[in-house]
Amino acid sequence: MKKILHLACTDIQRVTRIINAVHCSFLAGFPVDIISSSRKSFNFQNKNITNHNIPPLSSNRLIKYLHFFLCCFSWIWNHRGEYEIIHIHTMPDFLVFSALPAAKTGKKIILNLHDMFPELLYDLHPNKILFKLALFIERKSIQFSNYCIVVHQEHFNLIKNRSIKNKNSEIILNTFNPDLYKPDIQKKKKSTSKTLIYSGSSSPRFGLDILIQSVKQLINQNYDIRLKILSGGKSIKHLLKIIEKLNLSDYIEISGDFTNYQNSLQNISLSDIGIVSYRNTTFTNYVLPVKMFEYSYLGLPVITPRLRTICNYFPEDSVFYYTPEDITDLTKQLIKCLDNPGLAQQKSHTAKTIIDNYSWSLDRKKYLKIISKLTE
């Protein structure tokens, strides 16, 4: 029986978008192969879903991408007759061309654009030539695929004129999939102390240094709080230095176990306030954090910067908005949330109602419809 192959140059166990797509491939009746890249292999515990792990060759992003691309190209060349569909998860966008051997034999290609790579590249390296090159690669990658999936309406609007045009495309949000959540019987401990939680990347653009300084202001105002950061990466060392400098070691815990999805959700469920701390950049204005869906589904009020895409999905009465990169305003909103539990509960209830309208069951139908269309 023909299979579906998923390619993802990342640690898939912490990317629910990939896990959801893989399970949809299985629900469509196909055995699934996955080629991913992490330092520790991940097992789906399903005999019909096989993960082939390629450990990253280097911490250098470009070398990592090129190595993974060549490994995937070689695999597909040797197994091109086994697959009905090849589903590529970005980044990088050019990973889609590793499916060339299969595309030449008429196999269908899905390009799942997780992020806006040109905008991210420009944030990291503000060079117009590099940006135009990234746009060119994005456009050619989409043209090469049979179907393009984007993450939200703002993402679609951004690239529909520059890349997608008449291409078969679909918007599938990073919604919370309750089927993946296996709650522990552990309950919140009764405590006067409130736990704030951040879960996600520690890259500078996500503003954890801003959050840490805000926590310092709250401690100075005698608020009984703790901050738990579920994150990892090279930026952690810098964050630990800030925590030590501000004498916050007793108030802030950084846990590197954020790759374990169940542990991450369990930590969120035992917390009191969910935090998004992104800086104001071109890239972050086009990000709709999956963590906002997870915080809201698990009943936490959310503190978030006022960024374009987030504002378009979450109205004022559903979250506590603050001015991006404004430590004082972040602290003000945290105090408002802490001092007004009734308001916090009301906002979290509204947010839960909103995300219920973007339910995983609807996105699952979209995935299955795409697979059906490409295999009919």
More confident residue, 32 or 361: 32
Percent over 90 (pLDDT), the chain: 66
Domain containing residue 45: 3-174+359-375
pLDDT for 3 equals: 93
Instruction: Inform me whether the pLDDT recorded for 323 exceeds 60.
Output: yes
Calculate the average pLDDT of the chain: 90
Q: How confident is the model at residue 376 (pLDDT cuts 50, 70, 90)?
A: confident
| pLDDT tens digits for range 137-148 | 999 999 999 999
Banded pLDDT at 71 (limits 50, 70, 90): very high
In whole angstroms, give the CA distance from residue 231 to residue 233. Answer: 7
**Domains identified in the chain, total number:** 2
Average pLDDT over residues 22-43: 85
Whether the per-residue pLDDT at 259 is higher than 60: the answer is: no
Same domain, 151 and 202: no
At 111 the pLDDT is: 96
pLDDT band with cut points at 50, 70 and 90 for residue 160 = confident
Say yes or no to pLDDT of 258 above 70. no
**Can you give the pLDDT at residue 50?**
87
Mean pLDDT of 25-40: 88
Pairwise CA distance, residues 134 & 217, whole Å: 41
Alpha carbon distance, N-terminus to C-terminus of the chain: 15
Residues 138 and 243 in one domain: no
Judged by DSSP in three states, 182 sits in coil
Of 17, 40, 163, nearest in space to 90 by CA = 17
Q: What would the two tokens of residue 170 be?
A: 């679909």
From the list 70, 57, 8, 14, the residue with the least C-alpha distance to 33 is 8
Q: What is the mean pLDDT of residues 116-127?
A: 90
- Per-residue pLDDT, averaged over 67-78, amounts to 96
What is the CB neighbour count within 10 angstroms for residue 86?
A: 28
Is there a single domain that holds both residue 111 and residue 152? yes
Task: Determine the pLDDT at residue 225.
Answer: 95
> Residue 268 pLDDT more than 80?
yes
Q: Of 68, 62, 81, which Cα lies nearest the Cα of 34?
A: 68
Q: Report the pLDDT value the prediction gives residue 99, as an integer from 0 to 100.
A: 96
What's the angle, vertex CA 285, arms to CA 282 and CA 288, rounded to 5? 140
Residues 329-343 have a mean pLDDT of 97
The confidence band for 97, taking pLDDT boundaries of 50, 70 and 90, is: very high
Q: What is the DSSP letter of 90?
A: P
41 and 126 both lie in a single domain: yes
Interacting residues of 134 by C-beta distance below 8 A, sequence separation 6+: 93, 117, 118, 121, 122
Q: Which helix (H) or strand (E) holds 148?
A: strand 147-150
pLDDT band at 191 (very low <50, low <70, confident <90, very high): low
pLDDT score for 1:
67
Whether residue 68 contacts residue 97, with contact meaning beta carbons closer than 8 Å, is answered with: no
Q: Which H or E run contains 337?
A: helix 327-339
276 and 187 in a common domain: yes
Same domain for 225 and 148: no
Q: For residues 67 and 73, what is the distance between their CA atoms, to the nearest angstrom?
A: 10
CATH number of the structural domain spanning residue 231: 3.40.50.2000
286 and 157 in a single domain? The answer is no
Same domain, yes or no, for 71 and 142? yes
> 116 — alpha (psi -120 to 50), left (phi > 0) or beta?
beta
Residue 255 and residue 231 share a domain: yes
Q: DSSP 3-state assignment of 276?
A: coil
Edge-to-edge order in the sheet of strand 49-53: 49-53, 32-36, 3-8, 83-89, 108-112, 147-150, 169-171
Contact 57, 47 (CB under 8 A): no
Mark whether 244 and 322 lie in a shared domain.
yes
Asked if 189 and 107 sit in the same domain, the reply is no
**Could you count the other beta carbons within 10 Å of the beta carbon of residue 288?**
22
**Amino acid in position 72:** C
pLDDT over 70 for what percent of the chain?
Answer: 94
pTM, two decimals, is: 0.89
**Minimal CA–CA distance to 320: which of 331, 307, 334?**
334
Residue 56 and residue 83 in one domain: yes
pLDDT score of 48: 86
**Predicted confidence (pLDDT) at residue 200 exceeds the cutoff of 90:** no
What are 207-240's pLDDT values in tens digits?
999 999 999 999 999 999 999 999 887 888 899 9
- What are the pLDDT digits (tens) for 345-369? 999 999 999 998 888 888 999 999 9
- pLDDT band, residue 42 (cuts 50/70/90): low
